[in-house]
Amino acid sequence: MSQIVDLNSTSSTDAFINYLLNDINLDNPSGSERLINNTFGTWLNSDGTLSISSGIVDLTYDESSIFVNFSLNAKFIDKDTNLTFNTAFNGSIGVEFDAWSYLASNKDLISVYGANKTAAIKHYVNHGISESRYFDTFDDLQYLASYGDLINAFGSDITAATKHYVEYGYKEGRSADIFDEWGYLASNVDLIKAFGTDTKEAIKHYIVFGNSEGRFTNLFDAQSYLNKHADLRNAFGNDQELATKHYVEYGFSEGRIF
């Protein structure tokens, strides 16, 4: 699908260009500066001001990518020499877009669009960016680790897990995050030795090995740990999550018992 934007008729040209070149999630967050430097070369070695006077932007998108092709007319005023340069430059930007993740990260969109990926990316282009919507907050590893039936069905395929949440999990009322990664580490001291406090690696381990090995996530007794250590009770009260995290981060290496 394609969407043409005439910058001459855009109410906020500067804001649009700033969004286009900076906020569309380029791998290089300084993408606009890089593109402009490539275009104007040494003109930007000294301070100056650049303004976009007019141009055309063509947004083309499908279920997995956004492509931006633009032709802009610009004026650069060199601060030191006060010389003015009028020029035109063309460019293009390609951005990968995970429509499944965008839907999973915005539950209200699942209610509206279901599993329609084309509608999801169209929403992101037309509304999601201006609304500052996130498209990568869904924790696919957490969701997968939270349900043994999904691990059995998908293995470590996080794309399939995200798709499942959009198509079925949300409607089934499944929580996207019930796996206790700190409890898993605390309950398996060999994993503390192997991964330290790296909870992401711990989650991956459970998906690939721990589930099939029958490993537990709740063998660590956080209340007992608190009861045995007065300094921790003073620090954390009865917060068992903080106590579990403390054991992984410090308690185990300190030789504390629980």
| Torsion sign across C-alpha atoms 58, 136, 167, 150 | positive
> Within 13 A of 253's CA, how many CA atoms are on the CB side?
11
Whole-model pTM above 0.85? no
Q: If 0-12 CB within 10 Å is exposed, 13-18 middle and 19+ buried, where does residue 77 land?
A: middle
Q: pLDDT 10s digit of each residue in the chain, 258 long?
A: 444 444 444 443 444 445 555 544 433 334 444 444 444 443 444 466 766 666 666 767 776 777 767 777 777 787 778 888 787 767 676 667 899 999 999 999 999 999 999 899 888 877 887 788 888 899 999 999 999 999 999 999 999 999 999 999 999 999 999 999 999 999 999 999 999 999 999 999 999 999 999 999 999 999 999 999 999 999 999 999 999 999 999 999 999 999
Query: Are 107 and 129 spatial neighbours (Cβ–Cβ below 8 Å)?
Result: no
> What's the rounded Cα separation, in Å, for the pair 192 and 38?
48
